[in-house]
């Protein structure tokens, strides 16, 4: 299915230490999964159009990832480790920004085939404290997320 509506992310707080993000992509699930797990593809959307260097990305249980984004406001490193990799279904990994080292969220992404060629991705982040949860929401997460997902929309149209 194709739509002219601009897709939007729905961001909610299902519990005081959680952030839930729901987004529908106009592409089949295998293609969306590839875009989330193939380093060459991640490099094309995760950085919102900025240069993204993927230093590590071992997509398997226990593997590490580390991305460095070269943006107009400087260089930002992000890293974490994979807890669960279930192809096309679930990807669970930790997330840590160099600017707040030792503050670690656990991100659980699920990929749902909507049966009409579209895929719903739901990401739930769990923080150690409510302060970290609130800080993430206040950090300008939402515009950055929307830019990344818009870049992903464009990338998905080019994947065969």
Which one, 17 or 31, has the nearer CB to its own copies? Answer: 17
The beta strand positions in 42-73, using DSSP E, are: 51-57, 64-71
Binding site for its own copies (CB under 8 A): 61-63, 80-84, 92-94, 96, 98, 101-104, 106, 126-129
Q: How far is the CB of 106 from its own copies (least distance, A)?
A: 6
Task: Answer yes or no: are the C-beta atoms of 114 and 122 closer than 8 Å.
Answer: no
Phi/psi of residue 122, each to 5°?
-115, 120
Which one, 67 or 82, has the nearer CB to its own copies? Answer: 82
Task: Answer yes or no: are the C-beta atoms of 52 and 43 closer than 8 Å.
Answer: yes
Which one, 119 or 124, has the nearer CB to its own copies? Answer: 124
Q: How far is the CB of 143 from its own copies (least distance, A)?
A: 26
- Give the residue from 139, 147, 146, 134 showing the smallest Cα distance to 19: 134
Q: How far is the CB of 96 from its own copies (least distance, A)?
A: 7
């Amino acid at each position: 299915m194709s739509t002219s509506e601009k897709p939007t992310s729905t961001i909610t707080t299902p519990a005081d230490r959680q952030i839930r993000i729901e987004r529908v992509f106009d592409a089949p699930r295998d293609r969306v999964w590839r875009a989330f797990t193939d380093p060459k593809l991640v490099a094309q959307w995760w950085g919102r159009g900025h240069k993204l260097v993927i230093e590590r990305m071992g997509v398997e249980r226990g593997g590490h990832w580390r991305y460095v984004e070269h943006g107009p406001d400087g260089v930002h490193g992000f890293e974490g480790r994979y807890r669960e990799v279930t192809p096309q279904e679930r990807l669970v990994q930790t997330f840590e920004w160099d600017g707040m080292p030792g503050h670690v969220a656990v991100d659980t992404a699920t990929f749902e085939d909507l049966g009409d060629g579209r895929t719903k991705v739901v990401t739930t982040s769990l923080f150690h404290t409510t302060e970290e949860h609130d800080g993430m929401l206040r950090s300008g997460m939402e515009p950055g997320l929307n830019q990344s997902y818009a870049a992903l929309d464009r990338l998905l149209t080019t994947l065969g």
